Amino acid sequence: QVQLVESGGGLVQPGGSLRLSCTASGRRLNTYTTAWFRQATGKEREFVAAISWTDNNAGYKNSLKGRFTISRDNAKNAAHLQMNNLEVEDTAVYFCAAAPGRLIFSRRADTSAYDYWGRGTQVTVSS
């Protein structure tokens, strides 16, 4: 079993930055794929970014490339999401997810591919 806990959310003005963290316990993530999804009020959960821990290969929702960066920290058994130049439309609950192994690219955006989920952290972008 893997337990995931997100942190780092909060209220930020448009144009600001936040760094989300997803800390895992129970197992090491060094053979997993971890991802970030988000869900705005009244909308479906959507893929944000994913990273394979075996080869550090990362993938992003196309519209977020250049603003968001996913990374991993082996020592802390944690994944991070650096979010820059935030927009009001980025407001959502952000969830961390983990799947055993290296997911192929086409599967990374599929919520059903992930076995473990955190409870989420709220990100609100507002002036």
26 close to 2: Cβ distance less than 8 angstroms:
yes
pLDDT at 26: 95
What three-state secondary structure class fits 7? strand
Percent of the chain at pLDDT above 70? 100
Which segments of 1-127 does DSSP mark as H helices, in order?
A: none
How many Cβ atoms are within 10 Å of 67's Cβ, its own excluded? 15
Rounded CA-CA distance 70/51 in Å is: 7
pLDDT at 23: 97
Banded pLDDT at 2 (limits 50, 70, 90) = very high
Sorted by sequence, the CB contacts under 8 Å of residue 41 that are 6+ apart come out as 92
pLDDT at 90: 98
Q: What is the mean pLDDT of the chain?
A: 95
Residue whose C-alpha is closest to residue 2's, from 21, 20, 29: 29
